[in-house]
Amino acid sequence: MTARAGGAGRGRFITFEGGEGAGKSTQIRRLAAHLRARSGRPVVTTREPGGSPRAEAIREALLAGLAKPHGPFAEALLFCAARIDHLDTLIRPALAAGEIVLCDRFADSTRAYQGAAGGLDPALLTSLEEVVVGQTRPDLTLILDCDPELGLARARARQSADETAGAAAGPDRFEAEALAFHARLRAAFLAIAAAEPGRCAVVNAALSADAVEAAIRTVVAERLPGLFAETPGAHGDAA
């Protein structure tokens, strides 16, 4: 295992969280382009579940609903198994090399989906998180917040476009859950943000993609000062 987020020789770890269709993937692409142009550091974009070949294989099974019959604890363990591989093969090496890692979902999604919305004991999930994530905590977590009906409508519109383009689509294991599940998710993410205001920032994801992008840039500049026009080594960050 490598050094903790924020320690000497480390890059920066930024996670994006929120409900279905909130716009995380869209905003990661936009922030990555901005940081590539302005930060002087390599920028890696990745996602969970997934982000490494073994974790992507687990993702396929999870989103197809293959683990659902085994219950939320088994699902949580599979998300953790994927996360362990992702951390070991991609996230920790990139951070150790001084890179910026932008990750579409991370451990907060397990807390929200399997915990608050799925009914697992939060203390159990905290223990799992300590073992799996250890000290590799995000430097900043952007929680994209919007009404779940809006997010699900966006996800459905994207699926229709994918189907029109000939790609396999349709709601995945979690998108297919009832609206009440998605309302619990939204409350769970807002509770995480309220409990950890130093790490988390809530962004209004109901706005236009351009407005959300501008809000995210402002938060990143405020929370991670010096990231822009920063070069690895400029502040003693020898990898």
Total residues contacting ligand T5A (rule CB under 6 A)?
A: 27
Strand bridging mode 43-47 / 200-204: unpaired
Q: CA-to-CA distance for 146 and 144, rounded, in angstroms? A: 7
Q: List, in sequence order, every residue forming a beta bridge with 143; answer none if it has no partner.
A: 17, 202
- The yes or no reply on residue 23 touching ligand T5A (CB under 6 A) is yes
Residue 2: CB atoms within 10 A of its CB come to: 18
- What three-state secondary structure class fits 83? helix
Phi-psi region of 178 (alpha: psi -120 to 50; beta: other; left: phi over 0): beta
Whichever of 49 and 232 has its CB closer to ligand T5A, that residue is 49
CA distances from 225 to 44, 85, 121, 228 (A): 19, 30, 36, 7
Task: Candidates 24, 30, 92, 186: give the one binding ligand T5A (CB under 6 A).
Answer: 24
Task: Candidates 14, 22, 95, 142: give the one binding ligand T5A (CB under 6 A).
Answer: 22
- The yes or no reply on residue 164 touching ligand T5A (CB under 6 A) is no
- The yes or no reply on residue 105 touching ligand T5A (CB under 6 A) is yes
Q: CA-to-CA distance for 237 and 5, rounded, in angstroms? A: 12
Whichever of 47 and 92 has its CB closer to ligand T5A, that residue is 47
Report the nearest approach of ligand T5A to the CB of residue 229 (Å): 27
Task: Candidates 209, 214, 234, 239: give the one binding ligand T5A (CB under 6 A).
Answer: 209
Report the nearest approach of ligand T5A to the CB of residue 149 (Å): 13
- The yes or no reply on residue 17 touching ligand T5A (CB under 6 A) is no
Residue 178: CB atoms within 10 A of its CB come to: 8
- What three-state secondary structure class fits 140? strand
Task: Candidates 212, 215, 216, 227: give the one binding ligand T5A (CB under 6 A).
Answer: 212
Nearest Cα neighbor of 73 from 113, 107, 132, 106 is 113
Report the nearest approach of ligand T5A to the CB of residue 234 (Å): 32
Task: Candidates 48, 99, 129, 145: give the one binding ligand T5A (CB under 6 A).
Answer: 48
Whichever of 70 and 239 has its CB closer to ligand T5A, that residue is 70
- The yes or no reply on residue 129 touching ligand T5A (CB under 6 A) is no
Q: What angle do CA 95, 13, 171 make, to 5 degrees?
A: 120
Q: Which residues bind ligand T5A (CB under 6 A)?
A: 20-26, 47-49, 63, 79, 104-105, 109-110, 113-114, 154-155, 157-158, 172, 174, 208-209, 212
